[in-house]
Amino acid sequence: MSGSITMTGVTGDAALTRLIQNTQTVHTQLDKLTNQASTGLIGDTYAGLGTGAPVSLNLRPQIANLQTWQNNVDAATGRMSVAQSSLTQIQSIAADFYAQLNNVQGINASAVDSIAASARDALNQVANLLDTQDGGVYVFAGQDTSNPPVPGPDNILSSGFYTQINTAVGNLAANGAAATAQATYDVATSNAAGTSPFSAWLSQSSAALRASPSLVQVGQNQSEPTGIPASANGLIPDLATTGSSISGGPPASTGSYMRDVLRALATVGSLSSTQANDAGFSDLVQDTRMSLSAAISAMAQDAGALGNVQSSLITTQSRLSDTQTALTGQVSSAEDVDMAATLSRLSLVQTQMQASYQLISTLSGLSLAKFLPASA
């Protein structure tokens, strides 16, 4: 009949329906491949990784720990290098005064004042070296890395530490060398506030400091010592505190080479040309010189021990890096696409998609004819 619309086959056009469904599937594949080509990842979520998800979930935390430990080693070895440099400077200062004290008794009395002035400058310099920082961390502070080991280093000549030693040395003629040396020893070994030149944290016994060392984590349940506290020996035992270089005097060492260096410089800095002919002058100078000798030797040992730890940490860092590289490769296999293969497949799917759209357009046009008015 003229003007009627033929509906036959519209709802049963299975071929067009299947084509549209297949095209939707291809479109989903295209979206996935486009995203993979953009991100380089197999999937944006663990679910999208499929069988690679367990590998990623297991290894990523391990890789993060390995990176943290490597960062710790970087920071620690950096601080050690800075500490080594400062120790070398302090050792040089101590060696210089050790040499000067060898000749102090044979020089003109007026030269004593010059050596004393140099010792005071050196004391100030050592105090500042003990406050050396690396990245905002005080390298000789032990665990208390945010606070200076020697508070107010530029004011050390007005501190209780120096003024008490200065007073003791000033009474050399009256008290004699043994008593004077004992007085300076007592000041140097004191951890009392107002006497100790060190921070509150460092003003405690070497045993207490050893019980709370500065450590860095370099592995699972693995730590290494990283620093030398200013007030105690770091990686070597305390020096012997027995025996005396003066009859009736104190031990030749406080046990800490740094306390010995500070005591020696404060003692020499307190000497005066007017004391050059005092009976106890030679003995006090000899006691100071012997104390410096032991300190210089111990400082070299501690610096060497610190260097050994540094070398060990560098080896550890290399091992951590190798392990991280291996694990990262495993994670990459689980998470990353083969970009060349992905781009090739993406090109094929894009071509397939275009062909599907063209076929749909053709079939849709043919199907539309079924809605057109029938011929008369």
In this predicted structure, what is the pLDDT of residue 101?
A: 86
Are 213 and 76 a contacting pair, CB within 8 Å? Answer: no
CA dihedral for 107, 110, 112, 118, sign (positive or negative): negative
In this predicted structure, what is the pLDDT of residue 39?
A: 73
Q: What is the mean pLDDT of the segment spanning 122-134?
A: 98
Q: Coil, helix or strand for 138?
A: strand
3-state secondary structure 196-225: CCCCCCCCCCHHHHHHCCCEEEEECCEEEE
Are 310 and 80 a contacting pair, CB within 8 Å? Answer: yes
Q: Is the model more confident about 279 or about 195?
A: 195
Q: What is the mean pLDDT of the segment spanning 275-302?
A: 92
Write the Ramachandran bin of 210: left for phi over 0, alpha for psi from -120 to 50, otherwise beta.
alpha
Are 332 and 61 a contacting pair, CB within 8 Å? Answer: no
In this predicted structure, what is the pLDDT of residue 10?
A: 43
Q: What band does 16 get if pLDDT is binned at 50, 70 and 90?
A: low
pTM: 0.78
In this predicted structure, what is the pLDDT of residue 373?
A: 53
Are 37 and 344 a contacting pair, CB within 8 Å? Answer: no
In this predicted structure, what is the pLDDT of residue 38?
A: 65
**Crossing angle, helix 257-269 and helix 160-170, to 10 degrees?**
50
Q: Which of 7-21, 214-228, 291-305, 318-332 has the lowest mean pLDDT?
A: 7-21
Q: What is the mean pLDDT of the segment spanning 215-234?
A: 89
- Cα(284)–Cα(295) distance, rounded to whole angstroms? 17
The residue among 184, 358, 173 whose CA lies nearest residue 266 is 184
- Mean pLDDT score of the chain: 85
Exposed/middle/buried for residue 238 (C-beta within 10 Å: 0-12, 13-18, 19+) = middle
Q: Is the model more confident about 182 or about 42?
A: 182
Distances (CA, A) of 244 to 190, 201, 236, 248: 19, 29, 21, 8
Range among 42-56, 216-230, 260-274 with highest mean pLDDT value? 260-274
Q: Which of 81-85, 105-109, 208-212 has the lowest mean pLDDT?
A: 105-109
Per-residue pLDDT tens digits for 161-204? 999 999 999 999 999 999 999 999 999 999 999 999 999 999 99
Please give the single-letter amino acid code of residue 60.
R
In this predicted structure, what is the pLDDT of residue 4?
A: 37
Given a cut of 90, whether residue 336 has pLDDT beyond it is: no
